[in-house]
Amino acid sequence: MKTISVLMCGIVAMSLVSAAVWAQENAPPEPPRRAIAQWDKVTITVEQKIGANLAILHGNPGVDTNHPDASGGRVAVLYGPDGVLMVDDNNIEVHDKLLAAVRSLSTAPIKLLINSHAHSDHTGGNAFFARQGAVIMAQQNLRDELMPNPDAPLPMPLDPVSLPVVTYNYDPATKGKPAVVIHMNGETVDVIPMMPSHMGGDSIVKFEKANVIYIEDFYRNFGYPFADQANGGSINGMFDAIDLMSNCPTTILC
Ligand SMILES: [Zn+2]
């Protein structure tokens, strides 16, 4: 994920209600740690402050075989007196470290969590942060992608708390328009469903005041582009997604 600075029109508003905080003792046992990173050596820190109350959190380089530039996916955090809004939540193995990094910015309740796409380095902390009180939002396709595949030889058990509770859909007729607009901490946050591209249920998130878009993985700043076609991704959709960004004026994308 890389941040770029363009501006997005907002059209839809909705109110959001914080979910009840789940007691941590109700959490099921976590699955074994996967052998894709040196988890004990992973650190999660505030990589960059990109607005008055907006920050990007990221892991350190050289410890994650899937992310040589750093560990896991980036996390955007909007914080302030209205609470914390997060975009994505890195891998399940680092949720405690991610929470500590969020808490270095704010002690306010974590109220909203937007999933940009279903890959586990962006949604692994879902259940943990839902139990912190976050309401998870995503495309309906993403929610479907998180469901276990009953045809898999060893279907992974699903913690139902990890699933988004607020969903929306991509509509080609309103390409580039937000499905949800959130007013929080003096910021206007546009949640924009994308066409099937990196996966089948992707979203980008525009922070209007900060003039920043979190654009998830249809564009990456390392390796080859990757369309996860086994999970709804589309190479043509990745072209569409990049065109949607690059053809827009630098100030307004509608
Ligand atoms: Zn991805």
> How does pLDDT run across 9-35, given as a tens digit for each residue?
332 333 333 444 444 556 777 777 887
DSSP state of 134: P
% of the chain residues with pLDDT over 70: 85
Going from the Cα of 95 to the center of ligand 1, the distance in angstroms, rounded, reads: 18
The answer for residues whose C-beta is within 8 angstroms of residue 89's C-beta and 6 or more apart is: 75, 95, 98, 113, 122, 123, 124, 125, 126, 128, 129
Asked whether residue 154 carries a pLDDT value surpassing 80, the answer given is no
Going from the Cα of 168 to the center of ligand 1, the distance in angstroms, rounded, reads: 20
CA–CA gap between residue 74 and residue 1 (Å, rounded):
7
Asked whether residue 248 carries a pLDDT value surpassing 90, the answer given is no
58 DSSP β-pair partners: 45
Going from the Cα of 201 to the center of ligand 1, the distance in angstroms, rounded, reads: 11
Going from the Cα of 244 to the center of ligand 1, the distance in angstroms, rounded, reads: 19
The pLDDT of residue 13: 33
Going from the Cα of 120 to the center of ligand 1, the distance in angstroms, rounded, reads: 8
The pLDDT of residue 23: 45
The pLDDT of residue 18: 41
pLDDT tens digits for range 169-189: 999 999 999 999 999 999 999
The pLDDT of residue 221: 73
Going from the Cα of 108 to the center of ligand 1, the distance in angstroms, rounded, reads: 29
CA–CA gap between residue 208 and residue 137 (Å, rounded):
19
Asked if 49 and 76 count as a contact pair (C-beta separation under 8 A), the reply is no
Going from the Cα of 214 to the center of ligand 1, the distance in angstroms, rounded, reads: 13
% of the chain residues with pLDDT over 90: 60
Q: Which residue has the tokens 């470290």?
A: 97
Going from the Cα of 217 to the center of ligand 1, the distance in angstroms, rounded, reads: 5
pLDDT tens digits for range 70-97: 888 899 999 999 999 999 999 998 999 9
CATH architecture for the domain at 3-27+34-246: 4-Layer Sandwich (3.60)
What is the chain's mean pLDDT, rounded?
A: 85
Going from the Cα of 224 to the center of ligand 1, the distance in angstroms, rounded, reads: 12
Going from the Cα of 226 to the center of ligand 1, the distance in angstroms, rounded, reads: 8
Asked if 189 and 78 count as a contact pair (C-beta separation under 8 A), the reply is yes
Going from the Cα of 189 to the center of ligand 1, the distance in angstroms, rounded, reads: 22
Going from the Cα of 134 to the center of ligand 1, the distance in angstroms, rounded, reads: 22
CA–CA gap between residue 44 and residue 186 (Å, rounded):
26
Which residues have a beta carbon within 5 Å of ligand 1, which is an ion? 119, 217
Q: How far is CA 84 from CA 185, 228, 246, in A?
A: 9, 30, 30
pLDDT tens digits for range 188-201: 999 999 999 999 99
